[in-house]
Structure 1
Amino acid sequence: MNNPSTPTQALQQRSGASIITGPWPAYSQFKGFPERERWGIYELAKVGRQAMEDRGAKFSEDYDAFVRRVTEELDL
């Protein structure tokens, strides 16, 4: 656990890419939606992340962890 008085180490930025520390965004607020809609939100989450990566964004959360987190948050 980080000590609030200790500054967090910044992630290295490669070739001008934005680094998104995460997890970001959270999807748990959609857990009560019907299953079909939750699957749609899951697909949109994957497409959104891919679009950001295509534009050069780097995520501190690797893709497998992202998929695990989103499926857990959406209860899929």
Structure 2
Amino acid sequence: MTTTTNPSQALPQRAGATIINGPWPTYSQFKGLPERERWVLYGSAKAYREALELQGFQMAESYDQFVRRVTAELEI
């Protein structure tokens, strides 16, 4: 099943991939942590996204958009 929030926005996808609309989750609540912990969270966010993609999910947010968003939210 494929779902999008904006039907006029064509998203490239693999056949049968479920698109996860986002951004999700957000990390701005962690920006007050020490820098080292924020980098650990950034690594975890990337690993979580990769794990979902390996299971066949496709994010509506491009990888570049994801990296820009998460680094901005974590202020790194």
Q: TM-score range by the shorter chain?
A: 0.7 to 0.9
TM-score of the superposition, structure 1-length normalised?
0.81
Q: Do residues 75 (structure 1) and 75 (structure 2) align?
A: yes
State the 1:21 CA deviation: 0.5
Which residue does the alignment assign to 1:62?
62
CA-to-aligned-CA distance 1:24-65 (integer Å, 9 cap, x gap):
110001000110000000000000000000000011100001
Q: TM-score, normalised by structure 2?
A: 0.81
1:18 Cα deviation from its structure 2 partner: 1.7
Percent of counterpart pairs with the same letter?
57
**Count of residues in Structure 1 that have an aligned counterpart in Structure 2:** 70
C-alpha RMSD of matched pairs (Å): 2.0
Structure 2 counterpart SS, 1:58: strand
Match of 1:9 in 2: 7
Find the structure with the greater CA-based Rg. 1
1:16 deviation in Å? 2.7
